Amino acid sequence: MLRIGLTGGIGSGKSSVARLFAERGAVIVDADAIARAVVAPGTRGLAAVAERFGADVLGADGALDRAALAGVVFGDAAALAALEGITHPLIWAEAARQFAAVPADGIVVHDMPLLVEKVMSAEYHLVIVVLTDTELRVRRLVEHRGLDESDARRRIAAQVDDDARRAAADVLLDNNGSPGALANQAGALWDSRILPFAANLTAGRPATPRDFQAEYAAPLPREISDLILGQVRRMSARIAAAVGVGVIGGSPTGDGAIGSGVSTGVVAGEPTGQPAIGESSGVLEFAVPVPAWPDGAAYQRLAAAGFPVLDAQGDRLGNCDPAWPARIRLVPPRT
């Protein structure tokens, strides 16, 4: 199963991208929809919220008054933590149920607004960020969602900025243009990267080499060097998480599960040395230190995370992502 994390700031248009992928056959796990469902009338989630925050957060019909609840928790860290303590376990449980229902060869898109804030990038094979200029987002929120301008700006300011989103992104989609332009970007991404990535993952085969030398002629411009290093860091974090360094919800990631969204970090997965493009291999080459040598279960998690082993020694991994074919060397712990 290819797991894609899709995110973007409020009003960026990420839900439009989710719909475009759904039209092509992706299964969508919508975090916002799940968050609404777990506090719908008659649920234990709503009962727990009402017990904690009082009847004032309920409307006359007994449904959750979201505006009233927002007024209670916004700016109050303790109240927000209490709310999340009620809703987040329910949200993650339902998300896990939906992920588990996806076929082994399927493609699932997790439409997740707080992906960056919750440090969840290593839980996905691919993270897609939709970027839209702030002023356009404000206008969309006012015109399409009925927010007043000050509220729209307040909500945007409460989220992480676009620099943080760029750092987490494997792919950036620009939604400052027309709906057709966004659809063209999403369609090209689906055909050229997502479908072959999913096929490679299902088959357990690394992506084939590509002519990096023609694309990125040496010496590399600074922006290309930064692009490569950023991608290597994201891949290294996924490897570390699969080996068991990054722990989500008490168990290693990379086995097909989406956890609590609170990562303990992947410091040991920081790449060593300078990543290079092999002149003869046509793949990205770099090394990743691991605190413990992978066992059989860890190799299975690595393969599920998109990094199949390449040799009998088990110290070389490939990458299933066709955009970044790689030869990755695992560096054993010092004795």
Question: What residues are designated binding site for ATP?
Answer: 11-16
Longest dimension (CA), the chain: 70
Binding residues: 11-16
3-state class (DSSP) for residue 92:
helix
Question: What is the rounded distance in angstroms from the CA atom of residue 322 to the CA atom of residue 148?
Answer: 44
> The tokens of 243 are what?
């080996």
**What separation in angstroms does the CA of 301 have from each of 60, 184, 190, 254, 298?**
49, 34, 24, 5, 5
**Separation between Cα atoms, residue 128 and residue 6, nearest integer Å:** 5
**295 with 259: CB under 8 angstroms?**
no
DSSP string, 270-323: --EEEEEE-TTT-SEEEEEE-SS---HHHHHHHHHTT--B-STTS-EE----TT
Measured between alpha carbons, how far is residue 40 from residues 70, 129, 220, 224, 300 in Å?
16, 29, 53, 47, 39
**Residue whose pair of structure tokens reads 């994390």 in the numeric block:** 5
